[in-house]
Amino acid sequence: MSEKLFEAALGISTPWYVAGIEFAAAKRLLEIRVDFAVGSRFAIAGVAGEHPVHDTVNKRYRHLNFFQHECVLDVRVPRVKLPDGSVRQVTPPWIGKLSGFTLLFEALVLTLCREMPFRAVARIVGISDYRVREIAERYVNAAVSIGALNEVRRIAIDETSRARGHDYVTLVADADKRSVVYVAEGNDARVIEAFSRNVRLRGGKPSQIESISMDMWPAFIKGAEQYLPNAQITFDKFHLIAHASKAVDTTRRMEQKRQPQLKGLRWWLLKDRSALNRAQRAAVDDLVKQFATVRTARGWQFREQLRGILDRKQPHVVRRMLQRWCSNVLRSKVEPMKEVARKILRHLEGVVAWVESRQTNGFLEAINGLFQSAKRRARGYVRFSTIRTVIFLIAGKLDFSRINPYLAQPT
């Protein structure tokens, strides 16, 4: 009776059956012996028909724990003889993609990996963190390779730091599905070239990409113009405001030695005025009134003017207002803001494109935040393959159900 119960629980069906059960309470171990009926014939992927058993080998597979006890399947696995005389080992239907585990066990590991560091998963399931990472990487690689890119039309590109200093990883995302589709080391033009090749490998064409949202990093611009020729480059409002905010902060640091009232105002000046409380708004407003003598106040005004321009919806109006704004900035004495004006003039059409497309990298910034949080919990990642795996687990919306039926499709 117990054998039939475990067959149902494990999803084992003819010609396979549970031949015996050994429960060692002292070792906290449950061993389930699985065999097959005498005279059975088995199919081999890619070879027509079913074939007779030549011999057998014993294999052990880690399964889900039975309450607090480790559960192992001890399986007599057949090897069959094919018509060409070669001998091939049969793959039981419940066996996982990594040697030594069942599909259900791997499904549990992958589900946990989406929520916690590999080391924590390893402690829970009782295997090494190396094996946990190996399972996750194998599933991610398989899911990415079968994920078609032929329907991707709008993409967003951004970079995230993998370590201290200038060591970066570039993320490319489908802007419509808001999911990462490509991860690469570095942040130069070769990343865009590699992405265009990846599009071809996954059933698409670089010419199908209609628009790209990015910041004003010259390498990305060069790569996009060269390898994605049909794509309209868009520089979204949020990156532009970030550049302007940095210019305001740089001006404040340069000026606060002779303007003591600027001390303590850094975060208030960087925030949108609407996000400040009454006292903070009053302090900022008092500073802004001094725009004629305090360059930080003038820089703050320039940034708020830029924010207002980019909120408008008429491209020809925005183009004209941006040109006038840049002219005013370049005639001012707010030196850090002048570089922002020059960037806008160099890439004016890409800035104006934001007005029509409203395509933004905001969701990628959120994904970067999730990755950085995961990196901190794991106390850093050394290998790029691990970083790539973690990013895809967090934001790839990969369909693992095609690889393992116990894993749900992405929503």
Q: Please, which pLDDT band fits residue 166 given cuts at 50, 70 and 90?
A: low
Chain-centroid distance of CA 9 in Å reads: 35
Give pTM, 2 decimals.
Answer: 0.80
Q: How confident is the model at residue 196 (pLDDT cuts 50, 70, 90)?
A: very high
Please give the pLDDT value at position 121. Answer: 92
**In a 3-state reduction of DSSP, which class is residue 182?**
strand
Among the listed residues 186, 192, 205, 106, the one whose alpha carbon sits nearest the alpha carbon of residue 148: 205
At 195, give phi and psi (nearest 5°). -65, -40
Buried b (16+ CB within 10 A) or exposed e, 171-189: bbbbbeeebbbbbbbbbbb
**Please, which pLDDT band fits residue 363 given cuts at 50, 70 and 90?**
confident
**% of the chain surpassing 90 pLDDT:** 50
Question: Percentage of the chain with pLDDT > 70?
Answer: 97
Instruction: Provide the pLDDT for residue 289.
Output: 78
Closest to 354 measured CA to CA, from 238, 210, 194, 261: 238
pLDDT for 291 equals: 64
Confidence of residue 292 (pLDDT cuts 50, 70, 90): low
User: Which carries the bigger pLDDT value, residue 280 or residue 387?
Assistant: 387
Q: How far apart are CA 66 and CA 74, in angstroms?
A: 15
**Residue 296 pLDDT > 70:** yes
Q: What's the one-letter identity of residue 303?
A: R
Q: Which residue reads 């995302």 in tokens?
A: 173
CA distance 326 to 310: 13
Q: What is the pLDDT of residue 183?
A: 94
Would you say residue 110 has pLDDT above 90?
Answer: yes
Output the pLDDT for position 1: 47
Task: Tell me what the pLDDT averaged over the chain comes to.
Answer: 88
pLDDT at res. 356: 80
pLDDT higher than 70, residue 411: no
Greatest mean pLDDT range, 52-56, 347-351, 353-357: 52-56
Greatest CA separation for the chain: 95
Q: How confident is the model at residue 163 (pLDDT cuts 50, 70, 90)?
A: low
Ranges 79-83, 160-164, 278-282, most confident: 79-83
pLDDT, one tens digit per residue, over 49-74 is 999 999 999 999 999 887 778 899 99
- For residues 99 and 134, what is the distance between their CA atoms, to the nearest angstrom? 11
Taking residue 5's Cβ as centre, other Cβ atoms within 10 Å add up to 11
Going by pLDDT thresholds of 50, 70 and 90, the confidence category of residue 252 is confident
Least confident window among 62-71, 110-119, 373-382: 373-382
User: Mean pLDDT across the stretch 139-157?
Assistant: 93
Among 93-107, 172-186, 190-204, 347-361, which is the least confidently predicted range?
A: 347-361
Confidence of residue 172 (pLDDT cuts 50, 70, 90): very high
Dihedral sign from CA coordinates of 18, 19, 21, 27: negative
The CA–CA distances, whole Å, from 207 to 53, 215, 228, 351, 371 equal 52, 21, 6, 22, 30
205-245 pLDDT tens trace: 999 999 998 888 889 999 999 999 899 888 888 888 889 99
Return the axis-axis angle of helices 118-125 and 129-146, rounded to nearest 10°.
Answer: 120
So what's the pLDDT on residue 238? 84
